[in-house]
Amino acid sequence: MDDELIRTLETDYTQAPLTPEERVMVDYVVKITKDATKVGPDDHARLRASGFDDKAILQITLIASWFNYINRVADALGVGREAAQATTGRP
């Protein structure tokens, strides 16, 4: 990925030049990240309509969930916090 795309994904992913399929996938991942209890059959139907099969939906869900989990563990333990402070100037 190029630097511009990465910056756009970090600041406002809705403005990133994604394919329709990528947009549906990223919307789903963001929904999982913000509040997984709000994910439902309609979200899975949108993914299927975009060409993702059940195996792909499971993989997307597992990967997004794992990253959310491991980031929370790292945050709770302060892992990587020094590096983040050095680059952003924030705790």
Q: Which range (12-16, 63-67, 70-74, 80-84) has the least confidence?
A: 80-84
1: pLDDT strictly greater than 70: no
Count of domains forming the chain: 1
pLDDT in tens, 10-55: 999 999 999 999 999 999 999 999 999 999 999 999 999 999 999 9
**Residue 83 predicted with pLDDT over 90:** no
C-alpha pair distances (Å), 15 with each of 2, 7, 30, 89 = 15, 10, 14, 26
Quote the CA–CA distance of 37 and 89 in Å, as a whole number: 33
Q: In CATH, what number is assigned to the domain containing residue 16?
A: 1.20.1290.10
Rounded to whole angstroms, the Cα distance separating 55 from 90 reads: 39
Q: For residue 38, what are the contacts with CB-CB under 8 A and spacing of at least 6?
A: 31
pLDDT at 80: 76
Q: Is pLDDT larger for residue 1 or for residue 37?
A: 37
Q: Measured between alpha carbons, how far is 58 from 77 in angstroms, rounded to an integer? A: 28
- For residue 84, the model assigns a pLDDT of 56
Domain hosting residue 40, numbered range:
3-88
